[in-house]
């Protein structure tokens, strides 16, 4: 199969999965947006995705993301940064990312705002929340108890629009249970930030569970583009 045929067929399957999950959850079919995660895949694939109507792509490593966003600047795509963010790279990320989904500590707000300022336009921000059990050594994601302070820092920074929350289900746990906890966290977060309605959750293996628990954005990589190389 040619690469365009392969991607088109996979995209079709994923779009149907999203619609079916919405129907099953009693939600409107257009409630959930697809972000195709293009990390490790070449700009030529991003170009094919754009031709097939994909509007949002996700990347998790700064250098790769920056190069691809530059190469694909003519496509009018929305670039989501979904990876671990170093504070010394945050300003640079905000210079090409339209949405930064992985904001998990207050230190990032200042540099992100400076990057947005330099480019002269606002950047959408999601706060990444950890779904690990309390006491776990969180690799990424703010603890739910720290979200209020983090949100305040983002709102005070200027040029950053607080849009909602993002999470990854912990490995080795039933994603349904993890996303149920996320839905609780989100409900109390929405109480204080009613405009921050986005919820980015769900990947190739667990998008149905995420949609069941309120996801508005799913981040899907391998189900659309195939297996990523395991090295690197
Ligand atoms: C890679 C990645 C994804 C996509 O994962 P797939 O299992 O390939 O769909 C989603 N979210 C984040 C944060 C990622 O790093």
- Is 146 contained in some domain? yes
Nearest by Cα to 161 from 107, 197, 213: 197
What is the rounded CA–CA span in Å between residue 55 and residue 194?
A: 25
What is the rounded CA–CA span in Å between residue 144 and residue 131?
A: 8
Predicted local confidence at residue 136, as pLDDT? 73
- Is 231 contained in some domain? no
Closest atom of ligand 1 to 225 CA is: 8
DSSP state of 216: S
- Cα-Cα end-to-end distance for the chain: 27
- Is 230 contained in some domain? no
Instruction: Give, to the nearest 10 degrees, the angle between helix 109-119 and helix 147-157.
Output: 30
CA 28 to centroid of ligand 1, rounded, Å = 24
- Is 56 contained in some domain? yes
Number of domains in the chain: 1
pTM for this structure? 0.97
CA 203 to centroid of ligand 1, rounded, Å = 6
Does the beta carbon of 220 sit less than 6 angstroms from any atom of ligand 1? yes
* Residue 38 belongs to domain spanning: 3-224
CA 220 to centroid of ligand 1, rounded, Å = 6
- Is 197 contained in some domain? yes
Instruction: Divide the 232 residues of the chain into consecutive groups of 10 and give the mean pLDDT of each group.
Output: 97 98 97 98 98 98 98 98 96 97 97 96 97 75 96 97 97 94 98 98 98 98 92 52
Predicted local confidence at residue 229, as pLDDT? 77
CA 32 to centroid of ligand 1, rounded, Å = 16
Other Cβ atoms within 10 Å of 121 Cβ, number: 10
What is the rounded CA–CA span in Å between residue 32 and residue 28?
A: 8
- Is 173 contained in some domain? yes
CATH number, domain at 22?
3.20.20.10
Query: Ligand 1 pocket: which of 11, 13, 36, 37 to mutate (most atoms <8 Å of CB)?
Result: 37
- Is 145 contained in some domain? yes
Does the beta carbon of 203 sit less than 6 angstroms from any atom of ligand 1? yes
Nearest by Cα to 187 from 176, 199, 178: 199
Q: Whose CA is nearest to atom 12 of ligand 1?
A: 82
Does the beta carbon of 10 sit less than 6 angstroms from any atom of ligand 1? no
- Is 150 contained in some domain? yes
Per-position b or e across 71-94, b if 16+ CB within 10 A of its CB: ebeebebebbbbbebeeebbbbbb
Query: Ligand 1 pocket: which of 65, 182, 203 to mutate (most atoms <8 Å of CB)?
Result: 203
């Amino acid at each position: 199969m040619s690469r365009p045929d392969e991607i088109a067929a996979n995209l079709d399957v994923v779009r149907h999965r999203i619609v079916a999950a919405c129907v099953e959850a009693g939600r409107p079919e257009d409630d959930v947006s697809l972000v195709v995660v293009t990390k490790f895949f070449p700009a030529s694939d991003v170009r094919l995705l754009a031709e097939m109507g994909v509007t949002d792509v996700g990347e998790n490593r700064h250098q790769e993301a920056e190069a691809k966003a530059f190469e694909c600047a003519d496509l009018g795509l929305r670039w989501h940064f979904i990876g671990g963010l170093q504070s010394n790279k945050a300003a640079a990320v905000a210079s090409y990312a339209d949405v930064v989904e992985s904001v998990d500590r207050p230190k990032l707000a200042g540099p992100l705002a400076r990057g947005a300022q330099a480019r002269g336009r606002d950047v959408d921000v999601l706060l990444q929340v950890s779904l690990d059990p309390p006491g776990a050594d969180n690799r990424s994601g703010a603890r739910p108890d720290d979200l209020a302070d983090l949100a305040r820092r983002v709102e005070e920074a200027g040029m950053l629009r607080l849009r909602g929350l993002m999470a990854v289900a912990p490995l080795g746990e039933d994603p349904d249970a993890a996303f149920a906890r996320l839905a609780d966290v989100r409900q109390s977060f929405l109480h204080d930030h009613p405009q921050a309605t986005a919820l980015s959750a769900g990947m190739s293996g667990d998008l149905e569970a995420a949609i069941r628990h309120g996801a508005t954005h799913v981040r899907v990589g391998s189900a659309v583009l195939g297996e990523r190389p395991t090295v690197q």
